[in-house]
Amino acid sequence: MRIIDDVSNVLESVLRKVEEAQRRQIPVRDVEVSLSRAMLHFQRKNYQKAMKQALACNSLLEQRLGLVPPPPASPVPPPPKEVTL
């Protein structure tokens, strides 16, 4: 029963963050779609998949709401040097 409670708490937290993002007019449609998938996994008793999906939604929302800094950008390699013959 512990995993059920944990997933449920994460889902509730994500729903609250979605509401906050909507109040602040931050686009979250993609997160809402992912959250729907998480809820479907939860309903079908696929608790591990539900937790994974819900945590991904939570992370995205925290970034968009500015609660955590975005991950560092991957460095772009410099363009190749031209060789003249």
Phi/psi class of residue 28: alpha, beta or left (left: φ > 0; alpha: ψ in -120 to 50)? alpha
pLDDT in tens, 18-60: 999 998 888 999 999 999 999 999 999 999 999 999 999 999 9
Does any domain span residue 79? no
Do the domain assignments include residue 34?
Answer: yes
Domain annotation covers residue 81: no
Unique residue bearing structure tokens 């449920």: 8
Would residue 13 count as lying in a domain?
A: yes
Distance (Å, rounded) from C-alpha 67 to C-alpha 52? 20
Task: Report, in angstroms and rounded to the nearest whole number, the Rg of the chain calculated over CA atoms.
Answer: 18
**Inside any domain, residue 17:** yes
Q: Domain of 61? A: 2-65
The pTM score is 0.75
Residue 77 located in a structural domain: no
Domain count, the chain: 1
Structural domain contains residue 84 = no
